[in-house]
Amino acid sequence: MSLARRHFYRRAAALCLSALIVLTFLWEWQIAPLRLGGSWLALKALPLCLPLSGCLKGKVYTFQYSSMLILPYMAEGVVRLADVAPLSRLCAALELMLSLAFFVLCLLFIRSTRTSSS
């Protein structure tokens, strides 16, 4: 795989992760919180901040563990798609799409580093 593809996967994954951090925080704080005035669930964005630096730097280990870290966010997106509030359903759909895109980009990045080293 070309170096340009690897850089694309890294940048796109970092972009998806950054968008997911912003979305999960704003979702529970402003857009459609579970309680009026915001919810402590906004703190669910904090674990997503851990791999951001490693993703920006292109560290393979970070992509490996963050591909597992993202799975609960995918599950939350699927479950909260059944919410009553339209804004919450929209946020759940965006969360599901961003987390799925991040997961796939992580796998593609990892695969591109493995095939280039062999």
pLDDT per residue over 55-89, tens digit each? 999 999 999 999 999 999 999 999 999 988 999 99
For residue 46, give both structure tokens: 């904090």
Query: What is the reported pLDDT for 116?
Result: 53
pLDDT of residue 1: 59
Give the DSSP H/E element, type plus range, for residue 21. Answer: helix 3-26
Burial (0-12, 13-18, 19+ Cβ within 10 Å), 36:
exposed
For the chain, residues with pLDDT lower than 50 are 118
Confidence (pLDDT) at 92: 96
22 token code pair = 């912003």
